[in-house]
Structure 1
Amino acid sequence: MDSYQQQEIEHENHVWSLRERNPALTLSYPNVDPDRIDTPVFAIRLGRGPADDELPLHSHRKGQLVIAENGSVTCRVENGIWMVPTFGAFWVPGGIAHSNSVSPNGSVICVFVDGEVSGLPRKCCTLGVTPLMRVITEALTQRSVRYTPDSPSGRLAQVLMDEFAKAPTSDQHLPISSDPRLLAVAEHLLADPADRRTVAEWAAELAMSERSFARWVVRETGLTFGQWRRQLHGLVALERLSAGSSVQIIAQDLGYESTSAFITMFKKVFGDSPRRYLRRIEATGELGGSTPFA
């Protein structure tokens, strides 16, 4: 029996009500409501089955650190879509509505953190997970979610928070807005990233002038359309690299004329070539292009 099942049995009175409110949800893993567990920091491991649904938008009082243990994780919040590869993590502060989608047959470790714990980022961000953080979170998933501060679990949790507070963050996300037109464009390009329609063609699609469309995208995202689509391609590439796809296949799937053109795009987004980038994350936890959070 794996650790999250043990924790669910131990806390069977804390079953998350999401499934109760959404009886049609298909989930192969158990859930606990983090706000019904008074421990300030605890970790559980979750694995995704091939038929599992993406959880709907939800929020909780505790903040959540989602660590991609195997595969990748896509996290959606109101103003952006975030992607983290294996050994990366996404942080969402408490109270922010979000949904997490794990790649098929992937697994994550979720660390729930009480808002009273000091030194936490005040906004959503991605961050690298150092080898030490991976060892500690793995150990916490094997322990009860209830412990005292001076217990071995309590001391491990404190070291984890110390490491968390020092971790550099990165802005690996696709900015979006509540405008349904932009959401539709984002969903289309995520499903078909090889679509190479120009600004003029997208403007015509949305019954806008080319100039109005260009200004609208900058106003909604802070990026030009070219920069925004490049960011989207970078996140899609990261997801597929984490799934084991080759650089050559990803370049073709994203509509690049050559592998070298794809690598140039990837370097602009992440600061390194695809393979070196993934090796660096695994070895050091550094995501690249990062700055300490304030």
Structure 2
Amino acid sequence: MAQIQPLPTDQLEYDNLAQPVVALTLETQRNDSESAVHTHRKGQLVVAYGGGIVCTGEDGVWMVPSGFGVWIPGGVAHSNRVTANGQVCFLFVEPGAASLPDRCRTLALSPLLLELIRHLSGQAQDYPPHSRTARLASVLLEELELAPTEQLYLPLPASTPLRTIARALAQAPSDRATMASWAQQVAMSERSLARLVKSETGLTFGQWRKQWQIIVALQSLAEGLSVQSTAETLGYESVSSFISMFRKTLGTSPARYVRNTRLRQ
């Protein structure tokens, strides 16, 4: 179980610096850690160098495997959960310093960008303009603007019935109840539930639950669990069925996906 932690003082200090981009590296220990809901003045890129990160906002959940990052615009309320023994870097971007999305997005980060971020986190963050660090920071922001978006996102509906289902799935990801069963539990007709899911998430109920399973699977794999254990966590009767679902959704097998993310580190 993740332990809720207050926002580290370092993050608050970095958020107040005037430099166009600054970076802070943190490591978790044996237990998961989760920050309380908070906001930043600057935009924030949360980068996973080891383990994985789950970022939860008001309208969605973003998964960040190793080698990826989640972009959070300034002023957006969110919390971050880092898996046990994870390594995370927080990149703070001054408003207007780069052309970045105005909504939360999971970004695929190139090896060059990952190294630039890691390098910047080891420098003095109050670097002067026109210094070598400032020039490297400028290149970093140019590369960040080119980072492609990954579909590692689960929309969180606003309505009480769907929030109830989302909480239940979070607590028991192996639950294979049908939509008819869920509709009965939230006192709705199956047709009304289907319409509600579609209107609030843009997905069918099956697509929404499958996206939730992908988020849980990536988190499990990031924590170092085996493909078989992950399949069991999600309630699959066979590993092959889980692998088939994973491949259809992300275009590759779980084992290959893990290898590829490790190569990106």
| Equivalent residues in 2 for 1:88-237, closer than 5 Å | 88-237=68-217
- CA distance in structure 2 between the aligned counterparts of 1:107 and 1:83, rounded to whole angstroms: 15
* 1:211 to partner: Cα distance: 1.0
Choose between structure 1 and 2: higher strand proportion. Answer: 2
* 1:282 to partner: Cα distance: 3.8
For residues 180-211 of structure 1, the C-alpha deviation after alignment (integer angstroms, 9 at most, x for no partner) is 33222112212211101101100000011111
Q: Which amino acid aligns with 2:11?
A: V
Query: In structure 2, what is the equivalent of residue 253 of structure 1?
Result: 233
Q: Within the alignment, does 1:262 sit opposite 2:262 as a pair?
A: no
- CA distance in structure 2 between the aligned counterparts of 1:207 and 1:267, rounded to whole angstroms: 35
Q: Which amino acid aligns with 2:61?
A: I
Aligned with 1:67: secondary structure? Answer: strand
Query: In structure 2, what is the equivalent of residue 288 of structure 1?
Result: none
Find the partner of 2:56 among 63, 72, 76: 76
For residues 238-278 of structure 1, the C-alpha deviation after alignment (integer angstroms, 9 at most, x for no partner) is 01111111111111111112111101111222121112223
**CA 1:243–1:35: 2 relative to 1, 3 Å:** closer
For residues 69-122 of structure 1, the C-alpha deviation after alignment (integer angstroms, 9 at most, x for no partner) is 111000011110111111111001112111111112212000000111132122
Aligned with 1:204: secondary structure? Answer: helix
Range 274-283 or range 119-128, more displaced: 274-283
Find the partner of 1:31 among 1, 7, 10: 10
Aligned with 2:127: secondary structure? Answer: coil
Percent identical across equivalent pairs? 44
Q: Which amino acid aligns with 2:52?
A: S
Asked whether the 8 Å contact 1:26–1:52 carries over to 2, the reply is no
**CA 1:174–1:61: 2 relative to 1, 3 Å:** same
Q: Which amino acid aligns with 1:32?
A: Q
Structure 1 stretches lacking a partner, 5+ long: 1-23, 286-294
4+ long deviations beyond 4 Å: 24-30, 50-53
Asked whether the 8 Å contact 1:29–1:46 carries over to 2, the reply is no
State the superposition RMSD in angstroms. Answer: 2.0
**CA 1:59–1:136: 2 relative to 1, 3 Å:** same
Q: Which amino acid aligns with 1:133?
A: L
Q: What is the aligned residue count?
A: 262
Q: Which amino acid aligns with 2:132?
A: P
Structure 2 stretches lacking a partner, 5+ long: none
- CA distance in structure 2 between the aligned counterparts of 1:213 and 1:256, rounded to whole angstroms: 24
